[in-house]
Amino acid sequence: MLVLAVESSCDECSVAVLRDGLLLAESTETQTIHRQYGGVVPELAGRTHLELMDRMASETIARANQTPDSLDVIAATVGPGLVGSLLVGAMYAQGLALAVGKPFVGIHHVEAHLWAAEMTAGELPLPFLVLLASGGHTLLVRVAGLREYHVLGTTLDDALGEAYDKIGKLAGFDFPAGAAVDRVAAKGDPHAFELARPMDDGSCNFSFSGLKTAFLYRTRALPPDVVAARTPDLLASFQEAALESVMQKVRRAVKSTQIRALVAAGGVAANSQLRAKLKAAAEEAEIEYIVPPPRYCMDNAAMIAYLAWKLSQREIPASISHPVRPRWPLSDLVEGDKAP
């Protein structure tokens, strides 16, 4: 089965072609125009997707040595995400599907992340626990099978990746700042500054807004020259507090549910310290630890195509008129496949 997929939920424009779950070609472009604004500007994101989409799709199909008529399934992310960006990708893919007379499959962005590790690790051992951490989502999900998901915890305010970006902005880094924070924090002392730990109410939910505020007040209390000289220590202290909170919830989830593996997903899963801590937690619990390569942690069309292939094998109904859903709870997929 030959699948073409489009990912355009935020600021990554990506197109991939897979055959029977194996990647033939992929093109991904991250929009750098947003750096000057310190965050993603939705209107600019949508316009940039519109400029890139047709060229990238044509080039990707050609590099896969295929033609549009040879495709069996066409898919696109239809939510959650920025409505303008989603519309560009979904409308392009639906138009292509109509033109070549092939089925269109609308994909849930978060669900695709849950299965991204399977592209390189092979069939994942069920059930498994996924920590999905990105700029838009922070979730702990128990996966018992395709469309068998139990959300154990979610963020009550900011996503972990968003917190990294905002802390990085305070430190003077360009957007997105997660990788820079990780790199500079590695040079600092994680115990140099005591920062208020994020909320712990005994659940597996997350909260990072208080930690951001604590970091802001701590830096404001220091002379500018001290902040500049001790930026690695400040960032290391932030990262230690943030990841300590995350791991507290991960260990709680591991203990409360029977799983065979711990899986990392989302852009923040590329963070070196988070990977190390998750690996240690999995070893402590004597379960398998699985994480995709960094390029599959980020938003990408390969994972969209892979999930479309899995869903097509299950004969889950396709709909050429699938609307985009900027807000789309993962739980909707479990309750009788309610995706419209």
User: 166 and 268, same structural domain?
Assistant: yes
User: 254 and 144, same structural domain?
Assistant: yes
**Is residue 340 domain-resident?**
no
User: 152 and 106, same structural domain?
Assistant: no
User: 42 and 150, same structural domain?
Assistant: no
User: 186 and 77, same structural domain?
Assistant: no
Residue range of the domain that includes 76: 2-114+300-334
User: 246 and 307, same structural domain?
Assistant: no
* Each residue's pLDDT expressed in tens, for the chain with a length of 340 residues: 999 999 999 999 999 999 999 999 999 998 888 988 888 999 999 999 999 999 999 999 999 999 999 999 999 999 999 999 999 999 999 999 999 999 999 999 999 999 999 999 999 999 999 999 999 999 999 999 999 999 999 999 999 999 999 999 999 999 999 999 999 999 999 999 999 888 788 999 999 999 999 999 999 999 999 999 999 999 999 999 999 999 999 999 999 999 999 999 999 999 999 999 999 999 999 999 999 999 999 999 999 999 999 999 887 666 787 899 999 999 998 744 443 3
User: 261 and 127, same structural domain?
Assistant: yes
**Is residue 339 domain-resident?**
no
User: 134 and 92, same structural domain?
Assistant: no
Angle between helix 178-185 and 231-256 (nearest 10): 100
pTM (2 d.p.)? 0.94
What's the structural domain count of the chain?
2
